[in-house]
């Protein structure tokens, strides 16, 4: 189960990654997101393959991510990207829209800075939102430091052109802005909130990408999690293997809850407890791993442990509930 998978990135072995993903994820529920036009064909291939080869449900999602708006507009001055996106969606009725959104802290590469306007992000987001609404497609939304503006846009979208379901992935809003989203009469029944270790545990935990297979008590085997000291910089990769605070016994159970020591723990708890249980999703959101199943599973396990602790529920009960939520979100709206 993973409600936000980044699979396709520019690399010489993308095709091998795709084959590995299809082989290992065949019994899982996943949403695989594309972020720019050159991703979309491969996402569509995976989406189509699902119907013939897989016993689970892997849903493809195509969209223009705010990080890639500028490079796409510069390379598509005639606006063909939007027509291409619309054509893909019209020809594939269960394909969803995403990852789309707003990111106020993203900075363009040096050679494109003179051409960058945040307003282009907003326009592209609105265009995709309207397209998704008109075609009755669910959307996966990225939002960084633009929560109030996002709320205003989503709340004031004309009903006919508003998406039927909206997934706020790796949700980073404060408890107050979360309340405002949930109070919105037009939004509250359509919202889903996702959390990930890679985004939502920043400032609480950090991790290295080293393979610590020799660490017999590591909670994760693909990468190593450790505490972030609020008064110092995060530890280096070599230091992190010496500083593991997350352990498991032979039954795989966490023996301690080190995340509770973080100053950000209570803020996370307050926010996550506001989210209606039936609208909570878990995700990996790890583009650097190209869809690697083991890394994603370990990331999901970790965020599940932390969320279950904050909600005072059993981990397995939380996983079962979130899987059911994802299945419900994935159902086509025709």
151 with 180: CB under 8 angstroms?
Answer: yes
Angle at 57 between CA 293 and CA 31, to 5 degrees: 60
Residue 4, marked binder: yes
- Dihedral pair phi/psi, residue 243, rounded to 5°: -125, 25
Q: Which residues pair with 57 in a beta bridge?
A: 29
At a CB cut-off of 8 Å and minimum separation 6, what does 39 contact?
A: 8, 62
Q: Which residue has the tokens 């079962």?
A: 320
Residue the block writes with tokens 């994603």: 296
For residue 29, say whether it is annotated as part of any ligand binding site: no
Any binding-site annotation on 169? yes
Q: Which residues pair with 102 in a beta bridge?
A: 143
Contact criterion met (CB below 8 Å) for 188 and 182: yes
Please give the Cα distance from 147 to 161 (Å, whole number). 20
239 annotated ligand binder:
no
On whether 12 is known to bind a ligand per the annotation, the reply is: no
Annotated binding site: 4, 6, 99, 142, 169
Annotated binding site for a divalent metal cation: 4, 6, 99, 142, 169
């Amino acid at each position: 189960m993973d409600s936000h998978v980044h699979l396709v990135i520019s690399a010489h072995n993308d095709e091998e990654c795709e084959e590995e993903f299809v082989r290992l994820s065949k019994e899982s529920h996943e949403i695989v997101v594309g972020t720019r036009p050159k991703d979309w064909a491969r996402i569509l291939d995976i989406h189509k393959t699902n119907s013939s080869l897989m016993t689970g449900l892997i849903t493809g999602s195509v969209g223009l991510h705010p990080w890639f708006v500028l490079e796409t507009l510069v390379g598509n001055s005639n606006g063909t990207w939007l027509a291409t996106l619309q054509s893909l969606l019209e020809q594939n009725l269960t394909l969803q829209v995403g990852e789309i959104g707003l990111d106020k802290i993203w900075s363009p590469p040096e050679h494109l800075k003179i051409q960058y306007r945040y307003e282009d992000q907003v326009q592209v987001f609105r265009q995709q939102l309207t397209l998704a609404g008109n075609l009755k497609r669910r959307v996966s939304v990225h939002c960084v430091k633009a929560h109030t503006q996002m709320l205003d846009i989503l709340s004031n979208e004309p009903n006919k052109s508003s998406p039927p379901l909206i997934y706020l992935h790796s949700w980073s809003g404060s408890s107050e802005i979360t309340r405002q989203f949930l109070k919105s009469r037009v939004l509250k029944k359509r919202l889903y909130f996702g959390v990930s270790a890679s985004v939502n545990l920043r400032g609480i935990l950090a991790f290295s990408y080293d393979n610590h297979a020799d660490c017999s008590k590591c909670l994760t085997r693909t990468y190593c999690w450790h505490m972030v000291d609020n008064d110092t910089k995060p530890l280096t990769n070599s230091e992190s293997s010496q500083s593991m605070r997350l352990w498991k016994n032979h039954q795989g159970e966490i023996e301690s809850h080190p995340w509770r020591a973080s100053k950000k723990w209570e803020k996370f708890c307050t926010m996550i407890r506001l989210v209606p249980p039936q609208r909570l999703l878990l995700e990996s959101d790890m583009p650097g791993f190209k869809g690697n199943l083991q890394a994603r599973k370990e990331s999901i396990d970790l965020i599940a442990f932390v969320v279950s602790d904050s909600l005072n529920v059993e981990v397995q009960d939380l996983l079962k509930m979130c899987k059911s939520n994802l299945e419900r979100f994935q159902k086509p709206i025709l």
